Amino acid sequence: MSSSGMCSYIPNPVLVSISASEASDKDDTEDKIDAVFGVYRDEIGKPWVMPFVLELEKKLLQSDDFNHEYVTYLGLQSFNDLVPRLVFGEKSPHLQNGKAFGVQTVSGTSALRVGAELLARYYNYTTFYISDPTWDNHELTFLYAGFSTSRKYRYWDPVKRGVDFEGLIEDLREAPENSVIVLQLCAHNPTGCDLTKKQWTEVADVMQERKLFTFFDAAYQGLASGNLEEDAWAVRYFADRGFEMLIAQTFSKNMGLYGDRTGCLSVVLKEKSREETEVVKVKLEAITQALYLCPSKHGAEIVIRTLQDPQLTKQW
């Protein structure tokens, strides 16, 4: 096939991961450890479902309004009302004044993909930066969304065995204006090393100075500090400083809903009128319609029922 106008470099790390996982399943070494996917397992290596999720699922099956209907392009409205509050805070002024909103997606991967496509297709962004190293699907997702240039900022210092913060700042300072910077919010994959609050403030300074676009990947909220609020600190700090940004959220990890593909793209717009915000939503609808029509219902129902019930939220 002619490669004109298409990405010529197509990495495919995901297929490598899947075959490694399959090879691990077939290997009968007794003390093997499958470290390919980050998923909960019980003591004998079987998938583990959070007990409150199982209970909710039983109730859901018996409820009168249980069905397999389609949802709208941007998902269930109560999901979109509840989930952004996890990153912005329960009483966030940005949600109340309509500058921030969320749309349900097919998990974190498509929150990234839909957000990236919004930037590339409608706002002409071309260059993205990911940390070195990062989750192996970031690059593919952004390239397929229409970005042409993939770059890395330094993150891991193998000598110090921690974040190479000077390298990171230097690389951001040198990034061309309007580059999209993918920042993992917490529990950085694969290093496990996160920025301190002071370091986040320095990153925000450079992002502002250099006119860089912030795209948070919040794949592990709650799993770094054990506290949802604490782990969301950087998003709230950036939002309070008036950054326009995107945030990819997922319940794959923190609720163990991996295969139910339950996520959210949260959006913060700067000084946009309500009409302009509606236009952004129409663009998002066009992207999701063409990609997968609409997100899936089951996982979203579990999340809604959890977040609507303070007892269940506590249990979670």
Ligand X SMILES: Cc1ncc(COP(=O)(O)O)c(C=O)c1O
Q: Are 312 and 305 in contact (CB under 8 A)?
A: yes
d(CA 73, CA 70): 9
Whether 65 sits among the annotated catalytic residues: the reply is no
Catalytic choice (194, 217, 231, 260): 217
Q: How far is the CB of 264 from ligand X (least distance, A)?
A: 10
d(CA 190, CA 33): 17
CA angle 168, 147, 130 (to 5 degrees): 20
Residue 104 or 184 with smaller CB distance to ligand X: 184
Q: Are 131 and 188 in contact (CB under 8 A)?
A: yes
Whether 253 sits among the annotated catalytic residues: the reply is yes
Dihedral sign computed on CA atoms, order 223, 224, 230, 233: negative
Q: Which residue has the tokens 């600190």?
A: 233
User: Binding pattern to ligand X, positions 184-223, x when CB under 6 A?
Assistant: x----x---------------------------x-x----
Q: How far is the CB of 37 from ligand X (least distance, A)?
A: 7
Helices H, strands E: what count in the chain?
15, 9
Residue 38 or 146 with smaller CB distance to ligand X: 38
Whether 217 sits among the annotated catalytic residues: the reply is yes
User: Binding pattern to ligand X, positions 20-59, x when CB under 6 A?
Assistant: ------------------x---------------------
Residue 99 or 189 with smaller CB distance to ligand X: 189
Helix (H) or strand (E) holding 153: strand 149-154
Catalytic choice (194, 200, 253, 297): 253
Q: How far is the CB of 184 from ligand X (least distance, A)?
A: 5
Q: How far is the CB of 138 from ligand X (least distance, A)?
A: 7
DSSP structural state of residue 37: S
Q: How far is the CB of 221 from ligand X (least distance, A)?
A: 11
For position 266 contacting ligand X by CB under 6 A, the verdict is no
Structure tokens belonging to residue 246: 């995107």
β-partners of residue 188 are none
For position 108 contacting ligand X by CB under 6 A, the verdict is yes
For position 105 contacting ligand X by CB under 6 A, the verdict is no
Residue 108 or 295 with smaller CB distance to ligand X: 108
For position 238 contacting ligand X by CB under 6 A, the verdict is no
Q: How far is the CB of 253 from ligand X (least distance, A)?
A: 7
In the complex, which residue's CB is closest to ligand X?
108
Rounded to 10 degrees, the C-alpha dihedral 242/266/250/191 comes to -30
Q: How many CB atoms lie within 10 A of CB 96?
A: 10
CA angle 13, 222, 105 (to 5 degrees): 55
Q: Which of 89, 263, 295, 299 binds ligand X (CB under 6 A)?
A: 263
Main-chain phi, psi angles of 251, to 5 degrees: -105, 10
| Binding positions for ligand X, rule: CB under 6 A | 38, 107-109, 135, 184, 189, 217, 219, 250, 252, 258, 263
The catalytic residues are: 135, 217, 253
